[in-house]
Structure 1
Amino acid sequence: MGYPEDALAGDEELILHRHPHWKMLLVPAITFVLATALAGFGLGLADGGLDGSGHTAAVAAIAAVWLAVVCWRTVPPLLRWKFTHFIVTDRRVLIREGVLTHSGIDIPVARISNVQFRHGPIDRILRTGTLVIVAASDDPLEFDDIPEVQRVHGLLYHQVFDATDVRGERRGDTW
């Protein structure tokens, strides 16, 4: 059983599991392509103009700079994306983050009082946005780069609505 199933209770049903939107990987991908192109250009210059130990030193320096840029600017965002989970079950909303140091938030669906989303023009094109969850007596929690944020908003709203029906309460009516 893989993550997130091993984080759930025995009778808890997984409804949605998402990583952040791929747009957060766009700058690291561009950085990787540019660093690789510049390293290739530098290796071409080294092959054409240097011989012997000068060539070896230039190749080693170019490889070291390329490796440093890739490890510094592309690997951390990729790992941050891979190890960030947004999970909705029939009972709660879970957010898990971190590679070495883990952090998480669990929000019981029954305690959610409001679900909102927002996205600008670029986010609308990419079908992503920020999900805002207001739980009873807490400050709003904002989660950025949620893929298909409108669908997640609707799904979470229905989960909250179903949870209030189970408790015997109805919004807008008093019994």
Structure 2
Amino acid sequence: MAYPDGLLVDGEQVVMHKHPHWKLLIVPVLVLLVVVGLGSFLASLVSIQPWAPWAWLGLGALALVLVVWLTVVPVIRWRTTHFVITTRRVLIREGVLTRHGIDIPMSRISSVQFRHTLLERLLGCGTLIIESASEEPLEFDDVPDVERVHSMLYAEVADES
């Protein structure tokens, strides 16, 4: 999904648009599978009871709450988190109902670094660290293909100079 052009200034073009790494979706998917499996098992256990319809209703309600809270919300949060590099700035947008974001002009970026653990290297993600005129460096976790993002951002900063 491309970043909306209406949010860019005149002459600005998107160089890269990413969501957080897919590893953030592993736990929500596992929760979904466990809830469905356990719910089905419990529903089959109570099926011979005279109060089975009430138990099924309770199990369904509990499963719905768990799936929405532990699967749907994290997936929507992942989908609505954007890491965008344009020709003029770095934009980070997060949030579903309430949104917040950070814009860092290319001219204010003094250095770009990345780091990743062995597991992150195997998964192809890492942490991007951007130092700018602010007091502390900004760290962005779970950036997919962090080395490529680092190289592209460095190239955009060098072009801006």
Structure 2: distance between partners of 1:17 and 1:56: 48
Q: Please tell me whether residue 4 in structure 1 is matched to residue 4 in structure 2.
A: yes
The Cα of 1:137 is off from its aligned counterpart by 4.2
Matched-pair contact (CA < 8 Å) for 2:3–2:17: no
Structure 2: distance between partners of 1:42 and 1:3: 44
Matching residue of 2:36: 36
Structure 2: distance between partners of 1:131 and 1:143: 5
Once the two structures are superposed, the pairs formed by residues 12-23 of structure 1 within 5 Å of their partners are 12-23=12-23
TM-score (norm 1): 0.88
The Cα of 1:70 is off from its aligned counterpart by 0.8
Q: Which amino acid aligns with 1:160?
A: V
Q: Name stretches of at least 5 consecutive residues in structure 1 with no aligned partner.
A: 165-175
Q: Please tell me whether residue 59 in structure 1 is matched to residue 56 in structure 2.
A: yes
Determine helix, strand or coil for the equivalent of 1:74.
helix
Deviant stretches of 4+, over 6 Å: none
Once the two structures are superposed, the pairs formed by residues 1-175 of structure 1 within 5 Å of their partners are 3-47=3-47, 49-51=48-50, 54-164=51-161
Structure 2: distance between partners of 1:3 and 1:162: 22
Q: Which amino acid aligns with 2:40?
A: G
Q: Name stretches of at least 5 consecutive residues in structure 2 with no aligned partner.
A: none
Structure 1: distance between partners of 2:149 and 2:62: 41
Structure 2: distance between partners of 1:95 and 1:4: 13
Matching residue of 1:173: none
Q: Which amino acid aligns with 1:16?
A: M
Structure 2: distance between partners of 1:134 and 1:72: 35
Aligned residues: 161
Determine helix, strand or coil for the equivalent of 1:56.
helix
| Percent identity of paired positions between Structure 1 and Structure 2 | 48
Determine helix, strand or coil for the equivalent of 2:66.
helix
Q: Deviations over 1:48-102 (max 9, x none)?
A: x223xx0110110110111111122112211210110000000000000111111
Q: Which amino acid aligns with 1:56?
A: P
CA RMSD of aligned residues (A): 1.4
Q: 1:50 to 1:153 in 2, by over 3 A?
A: same
Q: Which amino acid aligns with 2:104?
A: I
Q: Which amino acid aligns with 2:71?
A: T
Structure 1: distance between partners of 2:99 and 2:65: 25
Q: Which amino acid aligns with 1:58?
A: A
TM-score (norm 2): 0.95
Structure showing greater Rg? 1
